[in-house]
Structure 1
Amino acid sequence: MTNIFTRIKEVIIADLNETLHQKEKQNPIGLLNQYLRQCEQETEKVGKLVERQSHLKDEFTREYIQAKEVAEKRKYQAEIASKAGETELYQFAAAEQQQYSERAQRLNASLAQVTEQLRELVRKHEEMKQKLKDMHLRRMELMGRENATRANIGMNKVLESDTYSNQSYSKFKDIESYLDRLEQKVNSTFCRSTIDERVAQLEKEMNSQESHSLNLIKE
């Protein structure tokens, strides 16, 4: 039964890898964008961890300094009480001094550990940011190559493909024919308009001459 499940798992993983491979072949920039989004999310998570670790380091530092100061203060007070012969006060101060000294030692060890962890997180975070920047540059390079490839394919179609060239030539011829027809139509309309105006002008001049002749005869 275990072997069957293992085999099914292997088949599923193989199919998934093949799907991703095909997807990468079909749309490498799309897949790279997906990786970039995932890396950005992980980088953001690590950045938040760095921030939390930094705050934790500050808290340990404050607690360590406070414990150390109280331990030194109790040590001094124990010495004064001892010299003054105040046994009960000496015992209280000495016990406090011991307690805060042990706390300071423990806090100092924790502070060193937290500081080292913070240093490691910062280093990894910087590596992730650099990796992310490299991936952005890689995407820009791929986009440039893709744009150049598409442009070259388009130019090659125009320059090398007879079919495409013939289609383009045919379109140009159609446009030229249309412009010729449009020009003839405009010229014809202009001629008709000019003829009408010229004939009307001639009629007007002839009528004017006839009226002038009749007036001379009457005189």
Structure 2
Amino acid sequence: MVNLFQRLKYTIEADLHHLFDKKEEKNPISMLNQYIREAEKQTEETGKWLERQGTLKQKLEKELEETMEMQNKRSKQLDLAKLSGEQDLIDFAEHEILTYEQRSIVLKNSIDKTTEELFGLERKYEEMKHKIKDMKVRQLQLMGKENVVRAHNQMDHVLHPESTGTIIDRLDTFETMENYIERLGQKIDHQHEVTSMEERLALLEKRATKKETPELLQ
């Protein structure tokens, strides 16, 4: 189980290095998101193995408890058999006691080994969970940097169009926009001037009409 967990750990690390070796080809944020999902999936599967290992340990402990109970029971029965003097029962009880003693030794060794392995697995399992937490923090950091970069690019696109994209195209676009705004401004000014002239001419006509009216009355 430990060797399997170690291979899983190396696989995760290898996958991470392999993914980030291709950072020029893929979006780092997208890569990290994918890796976190895979790491969470593998961690969840590892948690199931730990749960299974804990269940096996409990079964071994239960088996040891039953073995010890049977050993104590046969020891009491052996005392009774000796009192009765029935040799076949004495031999049977002694054989049973020896069998349970040997089984107890095997079970105790298995429980000690399983407990040690389980402790090691739990420690590495916690390391895996911390690793995922660290990656999620890194994910937030990268997302923040990405937002800043996108914001700067957007602002630079407006403030300094000559420095973004293809310079010639951007300059041409910017100059075209300036020319368009200039022409639009001239057009508006001309329209305003024409309108003003028309208003002045209309005012002159109105004044002339007022002067002519009194003369006609005389």
**CA gap 1:173/1:67 in 2 versus in 1, 3 angstroms:** farther
Match of 1:146 in 2: 146
Match of 1:116 in 2: 116
Superposed displacement of residue 20, structure 1: 6.0
**CA gap 1:18/1:87 in 2 versus in 1, 3 angstroms:** closer
Superposed displacement of residue 63, structure 1: 0.5
Contact 1:50 1:121 in 2 (8 A): yes
Match of 2:197 in 1: none
**CA gap 1:171/1:23 in 2 versus in 1, 3 angstroms:** farther
Match of 2:45 in 1: 45
Give the unaligned 5+ runs of structure 2. Answer: 1-16, 163-170, 189-218
**CA gap 1:65/1:143 in 2 versus in 1, 3 angstroms:** same
Residues matched between the structures, number: 162
Distance, in Å, in 1 between the alignment partners of 2:108 and 2:63 is 9
Distance, in Å, in 2 between the alignment partners of 1:64 and 1:155 is 72
Match of 2:132 in 1: 132
Give the unaligned 5+ runs of structure 1. Answer: 1-16, 181-219
Q: Does 1:34 align with 2:56?
A: no
Distance, in Å, in 2 between the alignment partners of 1:170 and 1:122 is 70
Superposed displacement of residue 103, structure 1: 0.9
Distance, in Å, in 2 between the alignment partners of 1:69 and 1:79 is 16
**CA gap 1:28/1:19 in 2 versus in 1, 3 angstroms:** closer
**CA gap 1:119/1:175 in 2 versus in 1, 3 angstroms:** farther
CA-to-partner distance for each residue in 1:23-58, whole Å, 9 max, x for gaps?
Answer: 446511122122212212221221111011011011
1:124 counterpart SS class: helix
* Structure whose CA Rg is larger: 1
CA-to-partner distance for each residue in 1:75-126, whole Å, 9 max, x for gaps?
Answer: 1211222133232222111111111111111111111111111111111111
**CA gap 1:167/1:78 in 2 versus in 1, 3 angstroms:** farther
Match of 2:87 in 1: 87
Contact 2:19 2:31 in 1 (8 A): no
Match of 1:66 in 2: 66
RMSD of Structure 2 on Structure 1 (CA): 3.1
Q: Among the aligned pairs, what percent are the same residue?
A: 38
Distance, in Å, in 2 between the alignment partners of 1:77 and 1:98 is 14
TM-score w.r.t. length of structure 2: 0.64
